[in-house]
Amino acid sequence: DTAVSQTPKYLVTQMGNDKSIKCEQNLGHDTMYWYKQDSKKFLKIMFSYNNKELIINETVPNRFSPKSPDKAHLNLHINSLELGDSAVYFCASSQQQGETQYFGPGTRLLVL
């Protein structure tokens, strides 16, 4: 059973398009996160939700919009994709805020 799953695993798209990445966790955790890992493997927090409430909103372009329909899901929608958005996006969850995080397999986004 996959604890934290993301779809799709790979996403290749053209500049200017709008795309979504979905994340689901079956661990019963309260908190979920989105991270961006760049080409140099540097990992940076983007957003975090706790029980469907936004608690971390880093300096991310407003083209990125997270949505949490319930505490098991945290989706990431990206409008008007740019070349610089190419990266690996990781979803993660934790039992409570600040606890050990469990990561999904990542979504590799390539913007052409």
Partner 1 sequence: AQSVAQPEDQVNVAEGNPLTVKCTYSVSGNPYLFWYVQYPNRGLQFLLKYITGDNLVKGSYGFEAEFNKSQTSFHLKKPSALVSDSALYFCAVRDLIYNFNKFYFGSGTKLNVKP
Binding site for partner 1 (CB under 8 A): 4, 31, 40-45, 48, 50, 55-56, 90, 92, 97-98, 100-106
- The two tokens of residue 19 are 């795309």
Shortest Cβ distance from residue 80 to partner 1 (Å)? 27
Which is nearer to partner 1, 75 or 94 (by Cβ)?
A: 94
Nearest distance from C-beta of residue 56 to partner 1, angstroms: 6
Question: 3 or 15, CB closer to partner 1?
Answer: 3
Considering the complex, what minimum distance in angstroms separates the CB of residue 79 from partner 1?
25
Nearer to partner 1, 44 or 63 (CB): 44
Among the listed residues 64, 77, 63, 59, the one whose alpha carbon sits nearest the alpha carbon of residue 23 = 77
Widest pairwise Cα distance in the chain: 38
- 19, 9, 49, 37: CA torsion to nearest 10: -90
Cis peptide, bond prior to residue 8, ω within 30 of zero: yes
CB of 1 to partner 1, least distance (A): 15
The one-character DSSP state at 61 is -
Both structure tokens of 20: 């979504």
> Which CB sits closer to partner 1, 19 or 103?
103
